[in-house]
A = this chain, B = another copy of it.
């Protein structure tokens, strides 16, 4: 068991929603309490909490925080407070489908609990559900790790982009879960972490997490990945996802598509690790996934230092979409889904609802 098992990105402490403020890592490890729905919204927007699964978990507790905050009187007002909070939190970030998935789940539970219940029992039910989402998330990550670990062979090199680690989930991670489990199984391997501009989640978070877990990690600039592959030092790529379409196209941090293309050019298998809650079957292909644009200042004034001329135009999408033909497999909590993705994804979901 690694230290990573003890990394609690999001926790619920006697009614307080507490997160690690990831904007301060790796220089400062600080937990903050999100006492209002505005604080929850801002924490998601400003990437204090980020990563599709973690956003979902945080938003679930955010519904509870926002509902309590409005001090509703009676069942009707409580239910309205739930719906209003969920609607508000849904505006924080557009791409990670886990956000909408978690908000919908909390709303559904609230409406079920309202049937014959009281305001108090409804709020209690919301707390149970958010805690269940948190617990499930950790379990799903463990299962992703178990299914994915065999893709890393002994003595191999693994490339990852951004942070799909314990910090991107309640704990343990998705892409990094694969590495944590392989490490726990005694596999020796080296990870190359793309620093991931503009916000450097690879440098700040992935390198920090892997060092904490005792996994050999080398930091590279995003533009160095092709060279490292050419040198024969990468055997497999594993990344996370923010939303996966019905055909397997995967939206993830900007630059992931770039990595998938260069991996293909070097015949290196490219895997996406994500729970089934990251799949959005209502979206048929990646072209229909909305892509958030980030503030140009994140590129021109990164970490408080101006490094580009005043007034320069900037194009800074937060995500890109990797088309399914570049993906060797989707590592989920129920196993690795392989091509043809449309059929295999549909079959997986059909068997779960059957």
Give the complex CA separation of A258 and B266 in angstroms: 11
Which residues of the other chain, B, contact A306 by a CB distance below 8 angstroms?
Answer: 26-27
Name the CB-closest residue of B to A230: B257
Once bound together, how far apart are the Cα atoms of A296 and B307, in whole Å?
Answer: 19
Q: A230-B257, A312-B207 are in contact. Are A221 and B320 (CB under 8 A)?
A: no
From the candidates B27, B211, B258, B307, name the one contacting A223 in the complex (CB within 8 A): B258
**Are A312's CB and B211's CB within 8 A?**
yes
Task: Among B195, B226, B317, point to the contact of A197 (Cβ < 8 A).
Answer: B195
Residues of A289-320 at the interface with B, using a CB-CB cut-off of 8 Å, are 299-300, 303-317, 320
User: B227 touching A317 by the CB < 8 A rule?
Assistant: yes
Contact status B312-A219, CB under 8 Å: yes
Q: Indicate whether A279 reaches chain B with its CB closer than 8 angstroms.
A: no
Encoded as 1 (CB less than 8 Å from any B CB) or 0, chain A from 190 to 206 comes to 00101111101001100
Which residues does chain B contribute within 8 Å of A224, judged by CB atoms? 254-255, 258, 315-317, 320
Specify the chain B residue showing the minimal Cβ separation from A25.
B309
For A228, what are the chain B residues with a Cβ–Cβ distance below 8 Å? 315
Asked whether any CB of chain B lies closer than 8 Å to the CB of A35, the reply is: no
| Residues A258 and B262 in contact in the complex (CB < 8 Å), given A299-B221, A313-B217 | yes
Question: Residue A220 at the B interface, CB < 8 A?
Answer: yes
Q: Which residue of B lies closest to A319 (CB)?
A: B227
Residues of B within 8 A of A307 (CB): 195, 200, 203-204, 303
Name the interface residues of A250-308: CB closer than 8 Å to any CB of B: 254-255, 257-259, 261-262, 264-265, 299-300, 303-308
Instruction: Compute how far the CA of A300 lies from the CA of B262 in the bound complex, rounded to whole angstroms.
Output: 24
Instruction: Confirm or deny: A225 has a beta carbon within 8 angstroms of a beta carbon on chain B.
Output: yes
**Nearest opposing residue in chain B for A223, CB measure:** B255
For A220, the closest partner residue in chain B by CB is: B315
The residue among A161, A226, A230, A258 with the most chain B CB atoms within 10 A of its own CB is: A258
Alpha-carbon gap, A253 to B225, bound state (A): 13
A218 within 8 A of B: yes
Known: A300-B203, A308-B207. A221 touches B27 (CB 8 A): no
Would you call A208 an interface residue if the criterion is a C-beta within 8 Å of the partner chain's C-beta atoms?
A: yes
Asked if A137 CB lies within 8 Å of chain B CBs, one says no
Give me 15 other A-B pairs in contact (C-beta within 8 A), A217-B313, A218-B312 excluded. Answer: A26-B308, A197-B223, A203-B308, A207-B312, A211-B309, A217-B312, A220-B299, A221-B254, A223-B255, A224-B255, A224-B258, A224-B317, A226-B255, A258-B262, A261-B261
27 A-B contact pairs sorted by A residue (CB < 8 Å): A26-B306, A26-B310, A27-B306, A195-B197, A197-B221, A198-B221, A200-B307, A203-B307, A203-B312, A204-B307, A208-B309, A211-B312, A220-B315, A221-B222, A222-B222, A222-B223, A222-B255, A223-B223, A223-B254, A223-B258, A224-B255, A224-B320, A227-B254, A230-B320, A258-B262, A261-B261, A303-B307
Q: Residues on A close to B: CB < 8 A?
A: 26-27, 161, 192, 194-198, 200, 203-204, 207-208, 211, 216-228, 230, 254-255, 257-259, 261-262, 264-265, 299-300, 303-317, 320
Can you list the 6 inter-chain pairs with the closest CB atoms, starting with the nearest?
Answer: A223-B255, A226-B258, A203-B308, A222-B223, A197-B221, A227-B320
